[in-house]
Structure 1
Amino acid sequence: MSVLMTDANKTTYPMLQPIEGRTVAVVPATPGRYNSFPCLATEPHTGNVVLVYRQGRFDAADDRPGMQTHGLDGGIWCVRRSPVGTWFEPTCLWSADGFEPGLIDATLSVLTDCTCLVVRRYPHAQNLFVSVAPNGTALEAMPWPWRLPTKDVFLNDAHWGRVIELPDRWLMVVYGITEETLWWQNQRGHKLPVERASLFASFDKGRSWRFQSWIGPRVFMGAGSDRSANETSVVLAGSRLLALMRTFGGNDTMDQPAPLFMCHSDDGGWTWSEPTATGLYGEAPVWRQLADGRLLACYRGFVPHRTAYELGGTFCLAWFDSQTMGFGPEMVMGHYHGNHYDGGYGDVIETEPGRALLCAFYASQDTHPDRRFPAIMTVDVAL
């Protein structure tokens, strides 16, 4: 098809460095726009893979904070892949002109009743939901009339993860800035506030939400500086909830990068164990549980011996051992070029036994907006 290119042309996408033997596809943007920050899910009743991503307008001449990182106005788009590998045309789920930089992202959940639920972040809309329902070969956006009361807990817009369905309630990870009383100065002269990760719960299938618990301490100590939580992913493994947490500090460099921490809850997320370092270093962690019960973590890794704001990085996978509560060796799936904030965000999903799709956001720090895009490759996850 014309919209999604397979075996990407290296002239058009010179930063794309697929590992040999993997099929690579990209979701190119239209001129003057970019596609970024992908999420994956599978429709249980069709077997289709759904990819949701942000599209925005890129202006290389706009040097306001956040513009080079997250772009200008845009929207949330999706594209679907059939079980036999056919990709359908992308469709727009929601769009808005003039949104502030960085304030429109989405996470994608598939509920047990087969509803695909996209949660978008947009403060001016007070964190509205968008529900997505199958409709032939298209996806139709429907308004979800309920809101997350994050303004009661966080100082500004908050970020969230996928919905976790328990027998008596839904859970959702929410993280954001909680206070401005603890600030530190980082190496670039920026002041950084405290961020925390939390669980919100709904006992009425999303109609209302309330704060349930904090995940991890107010401040993480160690790794060269006091640290605060950022992107956090939670998965239900049997009866235990596992949280994988990015942390960041005021003086992070690639020689002393952001460690990933993890903790667990055995009472449905009401209380959590003390977080411990995983031995992995990276950002934007995502848990995935395969059909056979194994757990896989997807995250953005680092290239050693460079500062956090130089070019280049990796996107990685690591297996989790539920017996030892530890991770196996880091598996580097590919490399990206571009701003530290741009590249490497990704997701992974099992499409059939032993096979998975990995989707990562590539970026290059230049003036070409079509060089910021999700790239998709197959991954062998067989035992």
Structure 2
Amino acid sequence: MPSIASDTGRHVTIDRRPGQYLSFPDVCLTDAGTLVCVYRQGDQHVATRFDLLNCTSHDLGRTWTKPRYLVPGVGHCPRMTRLPGGKLMIIDDQSQSTFVSMDDGAIFLRQSCAGSYIPIPDRVLPLRPDLYLTTGHTHQGESAPPKIRQAPSMQMVYASRNQGGAWQPYSVMVFDPNLVLCEASMTRLEDGRLLAILRENSFVHEPMYICTSDDEGVSWTPPRPTPLIGHRPCIGLTPSGRLLVTYRNVAPDGGTAAWMGSLEELDTDYAVHGLHPDTDNPRPTPQGLLVENEAGRESCLRYCLRPMTDPERARATLSAEVLVESAQQNACALYFCGWWRLTPEALLPPAPDAAPTALERGKPVRLTLRHSPGEVRAEVNGEHAGTYPVDSRRAEARPILVGNANTREHNGGRHFWRSLSLSVTEPRYERDYTWSWEHTQGHPDAWAQARVLEMANDREANFGDYGYSGWTALPDGRYFCAYHHAASAEPGYEPGRSCHIRGTWLEDSDFTPQPPREGP
């Protein structure tokens, strides 16, 4: 994907101090041109001590003041909005407060929020003086259905009639028993509709979803998938009228990412995302997309394809044509209700004690896997190769992956991927998804490679240690994004205990689609 991660002139450290886990920032530009950043200080990701801090910049982010306490001893995941008239409003869930500044962030006055508790609130969205909205999610019940492995999430919209002094439940944005939709971010479109983009938290590479409302948030459309895979999105309209989304990238290659485009581009279905740190692996050849690597993390390969949302009802077919010349046990595989491993001589099914299917060495193999609720049927070169029971009620039945079965060890080999195709029929959602790829087209994740901007890569970090972000437009036409970042490659990193606040400048030209890498 296009990346500015190594462009040191694009990045600045906002706050970094030993012994402090600094995270969950948001940023806003005041009418006077001051940038204000708010964030949490703690001892670890799941903190046992908390403070809310803020700092300011008077030169569009190049230098920052020392942090000041917004409120000590409490605070979690603040969001900040510039309201009509120039006021700044911060809302925070753990402190159950709003903080208002009338002087460009020099002083914030705290006001306890009466009414409803709002977990992980979004930025306050002022529709008119007597109607402010925000949104937050709650997990319903204590049981964890096996398809999502956690209590189902309900995303609620909350309204304030007195400009943030009290909040009450306003509407249900979305509730889906097969999707953990949460951490919504809302914006108002130019035509007056509201648009929300939501994190999906099943950890099966579901994308983010969007909903829209044409009645000021009273009712919402059913959720629709986007091409982006991420957590804690922050969405808004740019001065040019395009949408900008910053988010934690939870596709196979983790980091902090951004996307810019139109609603029509966002309102499309799934896009394949990949992990391939070595720019020369894989590489196009006339025989196929060649994966050739030693074992280890530096040259690993994995693509995530569209998962099944409701495998209890879904039907799916995954096909691949591959020529395997050499492969360690984790080198060449497809995940489809379990890892199907390919060697030069055999297909190894995921079922315990299942007999391998012999393959002819030196010849491409055409593998087709068909899921119907409760089973997977395998075909090799058009011939039936076994039917295997699966538990379609469990989350493990949902992901669909190709590449290395393990991206760290025993994954060296040499194999040519010639084609892939996937179809998923979801009766519950009245959705028929199809995708196909031939090696002459370049890389399977060409869309993401061209359109998702990597601000900071942190693939070696604990996923919670990066990527919550907020952004604001600058008067010089750029954008400034604040996010938490682990710097996992640096000495002293401890998963879940090391994090700092970083800022990055973005430009419209960063989001000009990049030409796909050429095939043979």
Give the aligned partner of residue 100 of structure 2: 131
Q: Is residue 263 of structure 2 the alignment partner of residue 263 of structure 1? A: no
Q: Do the aligned partners of 1:344 and 1:360 also contact (CA within 8 Å) in 2?
A: yes
Give the aligned partner of residue 154 of structure 1: none
Task: Give, in whole Å, the separation in 2 of the partners of 1:358 and 1:90.
Answer: 18
Task: Give, in whole Å, the separation in 2 of the partners of 1:179 and 1:204.
Answer: 31
Closer, same or farther: CA 26–86 of 1 in aligned 2, 3 Å: closer
Q: Is residue 438 of structure 2 the alignment partner of residue 316 of structure 1? A: no
Superposed displacement of residue 290, structure 1 = 1.4
Give the aligned partner of residue 121 of structure 1: 93
Give the aligned partner of residue 162 of structure 2: 204
Q: Do the aligned partners of 1:360 and 1:376 also contact (CA within 8 Å) in 2?
A: yes
1:8-19 aligned at under 5 Å gives the runs 18-19=5-6
Give the aligned partner of residue 240 of structure 1: 193
Structure 1, unaligned runs of 5 or more: 1-16, 59-68, 151-156, 220-225, 305-311
Closer, same or farther: CA 326–19 of 1 in aligned 2, 3 Å: farther
3-state SS of the aligned residue for 1:179?
coil
Task: Give, in whole Å, the separation in 1 of the partners of 2:495 and 2:250.
Answer: 23
Q: Is residue 125 of structure 2 the alignment partner of residue 164 of structure 1? A: yes
Closer, same or farther: CA 86–201 of 1 in aligned 2, 3 Å: same
Task: Give, in whole Å, the separation in 2 of the partners of 1:21 and 1:105.
Answer: 28
Q: Do the aligned partners of 2:229 and 2:251 also contact (CA within 8 Å) in 1?
A: no
Q: Which letter does structure 2 place at the counterpart of 1:142?
A: L
Structure 2, unaligned runs of 5 or more: 269-446, 513-520
Q: Do the aligned partners of 1:31 and 1:369 also contact (CA within 8 Å) in 2?
A: no
Give the aligned partner of residue 503 of structure 2: 376
Task: Give, in whole Å, the separation in 1 of the partners of 2:233 and 2:158.
Answer: 19
Considering only aligned residues, what root-mean-square deviation do their CA atoms show, in Å?
Answer: 2.6
Task: Give, in whole Å, the separation in 1 of the partners of 2:114 and 2:28.
Answer: 22
Superposed displacement of residue 29, structure 1 = 3.3
Q: Do the aligned partners of 2:205 and 2:251 also contact (CA within 8 Å) in 1?
A: no
Give the aligned partner of residue 410 of structure 2: none
> Sequence identity, in percent?
20
Give the aligned partner of residue 230 of structure 2: 282
Give the aligned partner of residue 299 of structure 1: 247
Cα offsets for 1:296-318 (capped at 9, x unmatched): 111111352xxxxxxx7121111
Q: Do the aligned partners of 1:54 and 1:76 also contact (CA within 8 Å) in 2?
A: yes
Task: Give, in whole Å, the separation in 2 of the partners of 1:259 and 1:322.
Answer: 16
Give the aligned partner of residue 334 of structure 1: 456
3-state SS of the aligned residue for 1:341?
helix
Task: Give, in whole Å, the separation in 1 of the partners of 2:11 and 2:39.
Answer: 17
Q: Is residue 80 of structure 2 the alignment partner of residue 108 of structure 1? A: yes
Closer, same or farther: CA 316–129 of 1 in aligned 2, 3 Å: same
Q: Which of the pair is proportionally richer in strand? A: 1
1:179-218 aligned at under 5 Å gives the runs 179-180=141-142, 182-185=143-146, 192-218=150-176
Cα offsets for 1:176-213 (capped at 9, x unmatched): 22333x522489xxx51121111111122223322111
Q: Do the aligned partners of 1:91 and 1:139 also contact (CA within 8 Å) in 2?
A: no
1:38-117 aligned at under 5 Å gives the runs 38-44=25-31, 46-58=32-44, 69-83=45-59, 85-96=62-73, 104-117=76-89
Give the aligned partner of residue 360 of structure 2: none
Closer, same or farther: CA 326–22 of 1 in aligned 2, 3 Å: farther
Larger CA Rg, structure 1 vs 2: 2
Q: Do the aligned partners of 2:464 and 2:496 also contact (CA within 8 Å) in 1?
A: no
Q: Which letter does structure 2 place at the counterpart of 1:129?
A: T
Under a length normalisation based on structure 1, what TM-score does the superposition of the two structures give?
A: 0.75
Q: Which letter does structure 1 place at the counterpart of 2:241?
A: G
Q: Do the aligned partners of 1:159 and 1:176 also contact (CA within 8 Å) in 2?
A: no
Task: Give, in whole Å, the separation in 2 of the partners of 1:24 and 1:330.
Answer: 18
Matched positions, count: 318
Task: Give, in whole Å, the separation in 1 of the partners of 2:13 and 2:495.
Answer: 15
